[in-house]
Amino acid sequence: MSIIFGNIIFFPYLCSIYTNHMINIRKLETELWESADLLRQGSKLTSSQYCMPVLALLFLRYAYSRYKMVEAEILQSRPMRGGRVMPVEPSDFAAKSALYLPKEAQCDYVMANPPFNVDKVKAESASAAGRLPFGLPGVNAKTKEVGNANYLWISYFYAYLNDHGRAGFVMASSATDSANKDRDIREKLVRTGDVDVMVSVGNNFFYTLSLPCSLWFFDRNKNTDIRDKVLFIDARNYYTVVDRTLNEWTEWQLRNLQAIVHLYRGETEKYKALIADYDEALQGQTIESLEAAIQKQKAEAKQLIAEAQRKDKKRIEAEQNALVAELEETLEIARQREWLTSKFGDGEYQDILGLCKIATIQEIEEKNYSLTPGAYVGVAEQEDDGVDFHERMNEIHAQLAQLNQEAGVLMDEIQKAWEELKEK
């Protein structure tokens, strides 16, 4: 039965629909605010700083979901030629007020830096999202909350990938080897064959935190010959110091790490292209020639500054410092080229002790599905400095005995002086 007011028809059950709709809206609002609180946890970012990338991700997801829905509608009535359905075209989507996404735009790439070790995530809400292909992480039986959301993020990132998708994200170092439910999820994840590369990163790579982290890379479309393999890179000792609290990878260091991945994937031409870039940047200069040039430039700069008039000293000093800095930058490029080619030559991958190793799924199983690079790459051998250990220890022991003897004499003199002061 309906109630008619003018040209508007009201159905009584609309009231209940409206009520349920408002309840759902309020629930969504509450969950969004809670998510925002979690997003800010452990971070100094404000809502205005993270809103744009979040909104952009929401839009991209909406665009893709809308595309798939409209595509299904179009294909239902799509004409056929030669027994094949005609491909969809941009005009088909424009007619239905939807964005047309070319195939290359549907790869579902994911790049993320989620907050680490977030707790108090409602297990029911996480399950309801339908993005947990490997199941829930550990849940507190009393509070019904996920104790650590690291593997929620990992599962979400994986679930958003299509058959050709790739993901790369930052994660707490502890996640590579965490136990219990996390370990079970990690086993299922490894067995998919989609874990591509794991990288350990050292301390001080964040502006606000000093803790180490790991980089995870998934590839749903790995080459057949590496389908059952994972590349592990331990880059904790490979970085450039910016200052006391911050480290970074220079452009060339980052490209060197990428080169290792290229060789693992059999992309030798990319490695050779990097070597060509090195050679172009160096123009035949070597580490030895650049070190000599820097020493010469510093000596010339010292002389020029000493001979300059007072009013010109600061200008000349700045100019000379710039020349030295340019040479030192080129020297660093030469050193990075040497770092790379000393390990991989003209472009043939090999496991390097302490740096990288390609491990099979069977090897990972033997290590209880740990994804910690250090567990596979091992520890690099320390270079022999040519010093005899026992001889050096004897020298140190003799020096220590001499210092102790001198310390005893000084203590006697201090005590004597103190006694004299008390008598005055």
* pLDDT value for 4: 37
What are residue 296's DSSP bridge partners? none
Which residue in this structure is represented by tokens 């008039």? 309
Q: Going residue by residue through the chain (424 aa), what tens digit of pLDDT does each one get?
A: 333 333 333 334 334 444 555 556 677 677 667 766 666 665 556 667 667 767 776 777 788 888 888 888 888 888 888 778 788 888 888 888 888 887 766 668 778 788 888 888 888 888 887 889 999 999 888 999 998 989 999 999 999 898 889 999 999 999 999 999 999 999 999 999 999 999 999 999 988 778 899 999 999 999 999 999 999 999 999 999 999 899 999 999 999 999 999 999 999 999 999 999 999 999 999 999 999 999 999 999 999 999 989 899 899 999 999 999 999 999 999 999 999 999 999 999 999 999 999 999 999 999 999 999 999 999 887 665 566 677 778 778 888 888 888 788 888 888 887 877 777 6
**How far is Cα 71 from Cα 166, in angstroms, rounded to an integer?**
23
pLDDT tens column, 13-30:
334 444 555 556 677 677
Closest CA to 115 of 187, 30, 172: 172
Q: Are 182 and 137 in contact (CB under 8 A)?
A: yes
Per-residue three-class SS string for the chain: CCEEECCEEECCHHHHHHHHHHHHHHHHHHHHHHHHHHHHCCCCCCHHHHHHHHHHHHHHHHHHHHHHHHHHHHHHCCCEECCEECCCCHHHHHCCCCCCCCHHHHCCCEEECCCCCCCCEEHHHHHHCCCCCCCCCCECCCCCEECCCHHHHHHHHHHCCCCCCEEEEEEEHHHHCCCCHHHHHHHHHHHCCCEEEEEEECCCCCCCCCCCEEEEEEECCCCHHHCCEEEEEECCCCCEEEECCEEECCHHHHHHHHHHHHHHCCCHHHHHHHHHHHHHHHCCCCHHHHHHHHHHHHHHHHHHHHHCCHHHHHHHHHHHHHHHHHHHHHHHHHHHHHHHHHHHCCCCCCCECCCEEEEEHHHHHHCCCCCCCHHHHCCCCCCCCCCCHHHHHHHHHHHHHHHHHHHHHHHHHHHHHHHHHHHC
* pLDDT value for 35: 67
* pLDDT value for 43: 55
Which residue in this structure is represented by tokens 């059950």? 13
